[in-house]
Structures are given as C-alpha cells and as structure tokens.
Amino acid sequence: MIRFHKEGYTIIAITFVLAIASVLLAEEFINILWLTKAVQVLALFLLIIVLQFFRNPKRITELNDKTIVAPVDGKVVVIEEVEEPEYFKDKRLQVSIFMSPINVHVTRYAMSGLVKYSKYHPGKYLVAWHPKASTDNERTTIVLQNETFGDVLYRQIAGALAKRIVNYAEEGSQVIQGSDAGFIKFGSRVDLYFPLGTKLKVNLGDKVKGGTQVIAER
C-alpha cells in the first residue's frame, strides 16, 4: 500500500479536488474533443506528480551505533574535506546528497543519539547543486551526538523550487536512526559533516536510499 507523508496531506487534498473539478468542467464546457482530453490528461498528470512527490515508503532500518545511514534518497554530489563555519568551525568531511523532484523527499535521522543543536536559517533559493547553496540558501542545521561518532552535523538545504523545509529535530531530544526527521518540499539537498577519518561507504555519483543504506561507519 502506498503511504504519503503528513506534510503533503493538504496539498494532495487540494490537488485532488482541483483535478476532479478540471476533468468534470472540461467535459461540460469544452466542445473541442482533443482540447477536453488534453485538459483532463494534464489535470490527472499533475495529480500523479504531487502524489509521487509526497510518497513515504516504509523503510526498515537496522539500528547500529557504528553506522551512518543515508538521511535521504538521492545522488552523492560532493565528497570533500571542508571548513564547517557554523557549528564546528574546523575541518570536517562533507558528503552531499542531491534530491531531484522525483526522489522521495522524507528526511530520516542518519544515526541514533541526542539532538545537540537545531537551527533554522532563512536564505536564498539557488539551485541545490550551486557551491554557495550550503551557506546562502534557506536551510536548517542539526547536530546529532552519540558515543561512536561524537557530533555529526546534517543540513537540509532548499533548492530553486523548494519553498519550505520541515525539521522535527528538537534540541535535547533523543532520536532513533531511520525515523522521520522532516521533509523538504521539492528539489533540494542534504549535507552531512563527519569527523575526519570517518570511513565512507559511498563514492561520488552513487545513488543512495534513505533510512536503509549505510554511507559511513566506524
């Protein structure tokens, strides 16, 4: 059975009503057969797009404090050592995962642990793969801590189409690896910052699956 994320319920309901209305009104008021069919097909196509975007497939995460799982579905577009300026203010290993509009956009906790830091930043809407997207776009920064990895930071970043980031991480709360951490509406990316020396299990260009695929380990 297909599940949908709660962040999409209102948009799905509105789109469904508009799609049905468009189909019925086109049938009633448009006298040109091909135009009637074109309007109806377009309305149903838009409904399908919205439904697929907000799908929330069930994922079974094998809990393991020695592994980091992908927080989202998408493609690994960055692997490099960088200076992380907001929280650590030192060198970290960055892994960035880009989500296209056709990917599942649920954000899941990459590891179990304590939420040490959670902050929202308003910003621009550059394309998600732009080099300055990490620092200039609308984003949230969350830091998780456990005994194996210490502090691991992940950042939800809005893209050119993303206009709302949903973040469920609250400072001081304990979270479980693979559970629902939020949602980013439309194209976007997630950056992760690991301690130097973290062993990665992915390479540039790899496609990853959120909540189940191990991307780093100790």
Mean pLDDT of 41-50: 95
Q: Are residues 91 and 47 in the same domain?
A: no
What is the reported pLDDT for 152? 97
Q: What is the mean pLDDT of the chain?
A: 91
Q: Are residues 21 and 83 in the same domain?
A: no
pLDDT of 127 above 90: no
Mean pLDDT of 8-28: 95
The active-site residue out of 96, 112, 134, 188 is 188
**Do the domain assignments include residue 42?**
yes
**Do the domain assignments include residue 59?**
no
Q: Are residues 43 and 11 in the same domain?
A: yes
**Do the domain assignments include residue 61?**
no
Mean pLDDT of 23-44: 94
What is the reported pLDDT for 65? 94
**Do the domain assignments include residue 73?**
yes
Q: What's the helix, strand, coil split of the chain in %, to 5?
A: 20, 40, 40
Mean pLDDT of 132-153: 87
Please state, in angstroms and rounded to a whole number, the distance separating the CA atoms of residues 22 and 183. Answer: 29
Number of domains comprising the chain: 2
Q: Are residues 188 and 129 in the same domain?
A: yes
Q: Are residues 101 and 194 in the same domain?
A: yes
**Do the domain assignments include residue 189?**
yes
Give the sign of the dihedral formed by CA 167, CA 196, CA 77, CA 138. Answer: positive
Q: Are residues 107 and 72 in the same domain?
A: yes
Q: Are residues 108 and 204 in the same domain?
A: yes
Mean pLDDT of 60-85: 96
For the question of residue 188 being annotated catalytic, the response is yes
What is the reported pLDDT for 116? 98
Contact of 104 with 144, CB cutoff 8 Å: no
Q: Confidence class of residue 164 from pLDDT cuts 50, 70 and 90?
A: confident
**Do the domain assignments include residue 150?**
yes
What is the reported pLDDT for 160? 59
Q: pLDDT tens-digit profile of 87-118? A: 999 999 999 999 888 899 899 999 999 999 99
Residue span of the structural domain in which 78 resides: 67-217
pLDDT of 54 above 70: yes
CATH of the domain at 138: 2.70.70.10
What is the reported pLDDT for 182? 94
Q: Are residues 150 and 48 in the same domain?
A: no
pLDDT of 64 above 80: yes
Q: Name the nearest CA neighbour of 212 among 171, 185, 189, 179.
A: 179
